[in-house]
Amino acid sequence: MISLLSRAIEAFLQLFYPLFRKWLAYDVYAYLAVGAINTALNILLFAVLYEFILPKEGWVILDYSIASYTLALLIAFFVTIPTGFWLSKNFAFKSAPSGGKKTTKQLFKYILVVGQGLGSDYLILKGLIVFFEMEPTLAKIFSTVIVLTVNFLLQKYFTFKNH
């Protein structure tokens, strides 16, 4: 199943890369493409959770009030960590060293980078909602664009760097 999915994703990437070859190196193109898939999944999960599943008034846990958009952000984040790592490692940065210890180290670094991204995403999201009174799903899209740019650079030069 994974092999079939991998071949399908690689075929999709190869099919459209000629359109972008003039402007983007393959790793940047692949990162943007598979990142778009994972980001779309993240935003979709966030929107479904926020708009349809979680109570708008938020939750109170141990006398601490947590906004629904914060819960949606966290749940979507944890669901898309494994998919994002798998997509990045196998398609965007496939030339990076691999193997048991290397992959474990890369996963640790990946989690650090996306953890930083989550913190940044939260602060930007919260700022857009609180200070600019932006609708949460729209704020999530804006914050995602900013965070993805920073994360690409960190993933390329920190997580999956070639020595």
Tens of pLDDT, residues 90-140:
998 887 777 788 888 999 999 999 899 889 988 999 999 999 999 988 998
Q: Which has the higher per-residue pLDDT, 145 or 143? A: 143
- Its domain, for residue 87, covers 2-159
Q: Which two tokens stand for residue 161?
A: 């760097």
| Mean pLDDT score across all residues of the chain | 90
- pLDDT for 112 equals 95
Q: Which two tokens stand for residue 145?
A: 């664009």
Q: Using alpha carbons, select from 6, 9, 8, 44 the residue that is nearest to residue 29.
A: 9
How do residues 45-57 score in pLDDT, each as one tens digit?
999 999 999 998 8
| Integer Cα distance of 131 and 149 in angstroms | 23
| Integer Cα distance of 44 and 82 in angstroms | 16
Contacts of 97 (CB under 8 A, 6+ apart): 162, 163
Query: How many domains does the chain fold into?
Result: 1
Name the pTM for this structure.
Answer: 0.76
| Integer Cα distance of 87 and 36 in angstroms | 10
Decide if pLDDT at 1 tops 80: no
Report CA torsion sign: 128, 129, 134, 137: positive
Contacts of 30 (CB under 8 A, 6+ apart): 13, 91, 92
- pLDDT for 35 equals 87
